[in-house]
Amino acid sequence: MGSQKAEGTGDKVRILFVCLGNICRSPAAEGILRQRLIDSALDLEVLVDSAGTGGWHVGELPDDRMRQAAKRRGYTLCHRARQVQPHDFETFDAIYGMDQSNVKNLHRLAQGVNRNLLKIESFGLLLGDRSFEIPDPYHGGPEGFERVLDLLEEGVNALVARLQHNSFHHNHE
């Protein structure tokens, strides 16, 4: 791959998706990307994970409503929630926050990290709009989970296209 590699990560591109509690949006993005990587024969070249900026759900499976909506589309979400850790900022080649609040929290959590190492972006950048937000479906109905999956599929497809064309890169801010 033509990307920058985090120290000690070998040849794999490492991608982290982040939302608030790591039970809806980010584990769904992780599950979708895992499947797309397998479908594209990139699964051995990319490592994907997800985390939350908060620790309320650490150790839990994704929200059952998200798991069921994802399952209907052929995705298995079996990730156990975890909170972002300081080493994540050095380990991952790209960190995608699901909304501006997540991005702001990631920058706050990264205090003390060399600013040149930070690779934090809004997931909306994959959809062509840095300010675009993936809405949190947690307090809504089933249609919210379906809408989030639609948006995540679109963004993940753009990310996979980038990976396939060896043009994966990160713009440091």
Within a domain: residue 1?
no
Please check the confidence at residue 64 and state whether its pLDDT lies above 50.
yes
Quick one: average pLDDT of 69-92? 96
Within a domain: residue 133?
yes
74 DSSP β-pair partners:
none
Q: Which of 75, 81, 110 lies closest to 21, judged by CA?
A: 81
Q: Which of 14, 19, 24, 49 is catalytic?
A: 19
Please check the confidence at residue 161 and state whether its pLDDT lies above 80.
yes
**What CATH number should be reported for the domain holding residue 69?**
3.40.50.2300
Within a domain: residue 5?
no
Please check the confidence at residue 170 and state whether its pLDDT lies above 80.
no
Q: Is 19 a catalytic residue?
A: yes
pLDDT of residue 166: 74
Q: Which of 14, 24, 25, 88 is catalytic?
A: 25
Within a domain: residue 173?
no
Structural domain harbouring 41: 13-164
Quick one: average pLDDT of 156-164? 94
pLDDT of residue 115: 67
Report how many domains make up the chain: 1
Q: Which of 63, 88, 99, 136 is catalytic?
A: 136
pLDDT in tens, 110-155: 988 876 667 999 999 999 988 889 999 999 999 999 999 999 999 9
Q: Is 150 a catalytic residue?
A: no
Within a domain: residue 55?
yes
Please give the sequence-ordered ranges of beta strands (E in DSSP) within 3-133, or none if there are none.
13-19, 46-52, 94-97, 120-122
pLDDT of residue 104: 94
Q: Mean pLDDT in the chain?
A: 89
Which residues contact residue 77 at a Cβ distance below 8 angstroms, ignoring those fewer than 6 apart? 27, 28, 30, 31, 61, 62, 66, 67, 70, 71
Within a domain: residue 160?
yes
Q: State pTM to two decimals.
A: 0.89
